[in-house]
Amino acid sequence: MSDLLANLNPPQLQAVTLPPVHALILAGAGSGKTRVLTTRIAWLMSTNQVGPHGILAVTFTNKAAKEMTARLAALVPINTRGMWIGTFHGLCNRLLRAHYREAGLPQTFQILDSADQLAMVKRLLKNLNVDDEKYPPRELCHFISAHKEQGIRAAQAETYDNYTQKRVELYAEYEAQCNREGVVDFAELLLRCYELLQRNEPLRKHYQERFRYILVDEVQDTNKLQYAWLQLIAADGAKIFAVGDDDQSIYAFRGAEVGNMRDFERDFAGANVIRLEQNYRSHGNILAAANALIKNNRARLGKNLWTEAGDGEPIRAFEGYSDIDEARFIVEEIRELVRDGVSPTQMAILYRSNAQSRLLEHELFAKAVPYKVYGGLRFFERQEIKHALAYLRLLGNPDDDTAFLRVVNFPTRGIGARSLENLQALAHQTNSSLYNAAASLSGKAGQAVGAFIRLIESLRQETESLPLPEIVEHVLEKSGLTQHYRIDKEGQERLENLDELINAAASFIDDDGVVLGHQAEGGALVSFLTHASLEAGEHQAGEGQEAVQLMTVHSAKGLEFDVVFISGLEQGLFPHENSVAQGQEGLEEERRLMYVALTRARLRLYVSCAQSRMLHGQTRYCVPSSFLDEIPENLLLKLNKKAAPVASVSSFGGGYRAEAEAGSLRIGQNVEHSKFGIGVIVSTEGRGSDARVQVNFGSSGMKWLALEYAKLTPI
């Protein structure tokens, strides 16, 4: 027991060894929240207060769930395989698999990812002859998911006018289509589970009595329905141990309710509130900047991060003449740091908007600096993998219309768009799936679709007794996918991905065909497909390559780096103009996002902005972000184009080199050129005979001109 509690600081120890009470743990960035969560579970079991089956632990990502399970297995000698540790969606999927009849679902129900949901909505609008310009499919998907996350079915949705009335009607049609096909989207997993427990008292009592301790990670990210689900499970005496940081609540656009943390003390009477404020990640100056910034938000639960690691380096602040100048500065600093021995993998460039990455990527490529855009296209989202999974989904559930439409004519079988339109109309008329309606399709189209149906039936029969990896391999070969990419001159990478899918299936089961580390309700294939759907949205950087990481601040949450560059700190960009337009709440969400950005850095932090930036093809002159004003001056080391820092306090080296101003010309000045006409100066660099300026000549475009030869006339 002493080993289990060793190396915990006093607040961590207090949290881990709490008696059976509700608790809200305010865990600041880098304060060891995962250690506290897992040690709390281990301590409860080691002191015989609860067995493994009495624990329910909820996380927000599959990666976090796996990490928690691995850490727990290292702390206590138990088999964690049967424990209920997972994401909200994963746990609800598990419960619905076990009680599919009571939930009104087929045993082999499949999960629609966001792309599948969009495809279904598009198909629905087409079948109903609804104008998709008036009712954009993506907006309708958001409308449906937002209502589900609030616990609102189409029948309960409020309508204010004819437009919202129509959207509610489409929501109802979407619900009917999902029920007809036996599929659920992500939001449906939680809503269907909540409704099942709410109406089925014996089932609800069973789980309320089973789970005596409920532990929740990242509670600040819960939405209204997730919070209600937790309240429902805990309503019969279970104790909730909720860990989170209201200062890092940055997912309001996904429905997260930061107010859930403030409501916790009221909803769970007598809850203990413990603050974890000692930071084990960042140096003191970085934490001081973060503390100063976030204090400007109202209605915080409040905490102040501190560290024993010392103040460290000042925060380097740079204001470039243009966005190009800013990108060049960042890349030059990175090159200096690499030369001084810093690993590229330990450096990250953060930005508010994905669109900002283009210039950074261009400059990194031009200077031969290896980089990686974090959160690019993931394995289970790649085209060839989606095709393979669609075939596999049809083996378990032929009524899955989304999977049917993805592969019915891929590889090509001569089934045209008109044939599919006729088939969809027929299915709509007969209120059946496309698979079942195919039997009534006549003529040449009927023959072609019939051949596809026979292929799926033969695949089902041929794979019935095969182990999972052989099922995948057989389907890839017999469906024609492997041959299709084999003859494609650019198909080698896709073939390698298909091979990796077989590898993934093989690693999913043991030598006896038993599913490893996952719940197997519905069989190995259904479990594997569920795994693929749940994993599709994970943010995973590639492994093994030394490269600078580029990412949005949202993607950076949960990560940390030795060196962090926060770029584009300008009003309208960060804080973003769309959020600022929402008033105080929007601005505070942006400030929390900036707080997350600051606290990603361990040793060195850069903040930068530009005086001008190209947006929508036009030069925009920028005002530095108000967040820069909220960082105390004494924490900053200001770098600029006119002079290099007087002295280096760096443990890394580096430092931006001085450049002289380009003659008497200045940023924003109007000039005239004999060939290109009138323009505006947006950037200058160099000195003497090397001096040059960048000018935006409107219809003639952006030009870099050497001052020695350009003959620019100020106007």
Catalytic positions, please? Answer: 33-34, 217-218, 248, 600
β-sheet bridge partners, residue 509? 515
Look up residue 362 and give its two tokens.
């261009």
Q: Residue 167 is inside which H or E element, if any?
A: helix 162-181
Look up residue 616 and give its two tokens.
């929508």
Q: Residue 228 is inside which H or E element, if any?
A: helix 224-233
> In this structure, which amino acid lies at residue 13?
L
Residue with tokens 């989202």: 381
CA gap 550, 577 in Å, rounded: 22
Beta strand residue intervals within 366-488, DSSP E: 371-373
Quick one: three-class SS letters along 644-683?
CCCCCCCCCCCCCCCCCCCCCCCCCCEEEECCCEEEEEEE
CA gap 619, 701 in Å, rounded: 11
Beta strand residue intervals within 167-276, DSSP E: 183-185, 213-216, 239-244, 272-276
Task: Say if residues 363 and 539 touch (Cβ distance below 8 Å).
Answer: no
Task: Say if residues 373 and 361 touch (Cβ distance below 8 Å).
Answer: yes
CA gap 223, 10 in Å, rounded: 31
Residue with tokens 């990502």: 61
Pairing relation of β-strands 371-373 and 548-552?
Answer: parallel
Task: Say if residues 320 and 293 touch (Cβ distance below 8 Å).
Answer: no
> In this structure, which amino acid lies at residue 378?
R
> In this structure, which amino acid lies at residue 196?
L
DSSP string, 529-589: HHHHHHHTT-----SS---EEEEEHHHHTT--EEEEEE---BTBBTTBHHHHTT-HHHHHH
CA gap 539, 558 in Å, rounded: 11
Task: Say if residues 83 and 53 touch (Cβ distance below 8 Å).
Answer: yes
Quick one: three-class SS letters along 25-88?
EEECCCCCHHHHHHHHHHHHHHCCCCCHHHEEEEECCHHHHHHHHHHHHHHCCCCCCCCEEEEH
CA gap 186, 164 in Å, rounded: 23
Cα dist from 296 to 65, 630, 638, whole Å: 33, 8, 23
Contacts of 401 (CB under 8 A, 6+ apart): 120, 123, 177, 181, 427, 433, 434, 435
CB atoms within 10 A of CB 358: 12
b/e code 194-226 from CB counts within 10 Å (16+ = b): bebbeeeeebbeebbeebbbbbbbbbbbbbbbb
> In this structure, which amino acid lies at residue 613?
R
Residue 414 per-residue DSSP state:
S
How many Å from the N-terminal Cα to the C-terminal Cα in the chain?
79
Pairing relation of β-strands 315-320 and 239-244?
Answer: unpaired
* Among the listed residues 138, 224, 125, the one whose alpha carbon sits nearest the alpha carbon of residue 169: 125
Look up residue 603 and give its two tokens.
């040793």
